[in-house]
Chains A and B, each alone.
Chain A
């Protein structure tokens, strides 16, 4: 069977894209939905079904994930509101790693306690690597607003992470 070099190169690009962007996208989707993996998978498949690739693939994926995660959260809340409240996001959002200075459970709790617009800005910037312009494009806010939210979110997280361990000790 003949191999198509351009298709092979595209497959490599796609593989790299998935490995690079998938974790941040899953964390981003978790801000709204419990089915974050499904949402991200659908977003990638939507991307690869596109006949014309978007100019900014990262921003396009984050935008699609945001939209789909919001829809998924709406259908979740309609389906089993009580069940959802009982098992509200008790899973950690981060991978444990040796030598890590921050407790991933505490970070998860601290992040979950933040307002949604701060959370999504921090995740998109810190773990998604998006610029403030791209975040502004996705969220519909201005770049300066995105920058302000990011800074406010980081300060709030830092504040919370200083406090939370002490509360835990008590």
Chain B
């Protein structure tokens, strides 16, 4: 930028002394500018609020999508029906004895008794005494005593006295009740030779 010579600089200074004419209504313009600034301010605030809402909705949508994707990825992959059936069977075999048809070790022991019972032979006496209030059991006990002769010798029943029960062909749904036990014991069966002998 070349500098102006002195004479031109003096002319420039004299020109700058005169002020441009303007019929602009500055007061009205100041008022309108304040109004325009207020409108712009409000618009900016509304825009910011709308932006926050939109961004929040977008983030929520992204989070929901991510959660859905995560849930889908953590699930087992889809398998053909045959594989699904095989898998289900394996699971049933490996599952604990919550099934109706399966039996707990205690139930299996009772069912196998007396053939494989490691308990004392006096368990039969215990059973008889425990169910002493049962009329059928008393009757059976009386017959047992009568047929055995004197004393309590007849009560000393050994496990070998009882025939081994055949294994159940199919699992039972529930434990035998006392009544079922009594019926079994009092059944007038030819296999109960030991009672009369």
Interface residues of A (CB under 8 A from B): 7, 10-11, 14-15, 18-19, 22-24, 26-27, 36-37, 40-41, 44-45, 47-51, 91-95, 97, 100-102, 104, 107, 126-127, 132, 143-144, 147, 151, 154-155, 157-158
Q: Interface with A: B4-12, B78-86, B140-148, B176-184, which one?
A: B4-12
A36 to B39, CA, bound (A): 25
CB pair B17 A154 closer than 8 Å: no
A107 to B22, CA, bound (A): 16
CB-nearest residue of chain A to B37: A48
Which B residues are in CB contact (< 8 Å) with A14? 30, 33-34, 37
A14 to B8, CA, bound (A): 34
Once A14-B33, A23-B20 are accepted as A-B contacts, the answer to whether A49 and B39 lie under 8 Å apart by CB is yes
Does more than half of chain B's interface fall in helix, strand or loop, or is it mixed?
A: helix
Q: How distant is A58 from chain B, measured CB to nearest CB, in Å? A: 15
CB pair B43 A51 closer than 8 Å: yes
Q: How distant is A69 from chain B, measured CB to nearest CB, in Å? A: 14
CB-nearest residue of chain B to A51: B44
A110 to B34, CA, bound (A): 38
Q: Which of B8, B18, B23, B47 contacts A155 (CB 8 A)?
A: B8
CB pair A37 B1 closer than 8 Å: no
CB pair B1 A44 closer than 8 Å: no
Q: How distant is B21 from chain A, measured CB to nearest CB, in Å? A: 5
CB pair A51 B2 closer than 8 Å: no
* Sample of 10 more A-B contacts, CB < 8 Å, known A49-B40, A95-B18: A7-B37, A41-B24, A44-B33, A48-B34, A93-B20, A102-B15, A127-B20, A144-B1, A147-B2, A158-B8
Which A residues are in CB contact (< 8 Å) with B21? 23, 26-27, 91-95
CB pair A22 B24 closer than 8 Å: yes
Once A18-B29, A51-B44, A144-B1 are accepted as A-B contacts, the answer to whether A45 and B24 lie under 8 Å apart by CB is no
CB-nearest residue of chain A to B19: A95
A11 to B30, CA, bound (A): 8
Q: Which of B2, B30, B44 contacts A18 (CB 8 A)?
A: B30
CB pair B36 A48 closer than 8 Å: yes
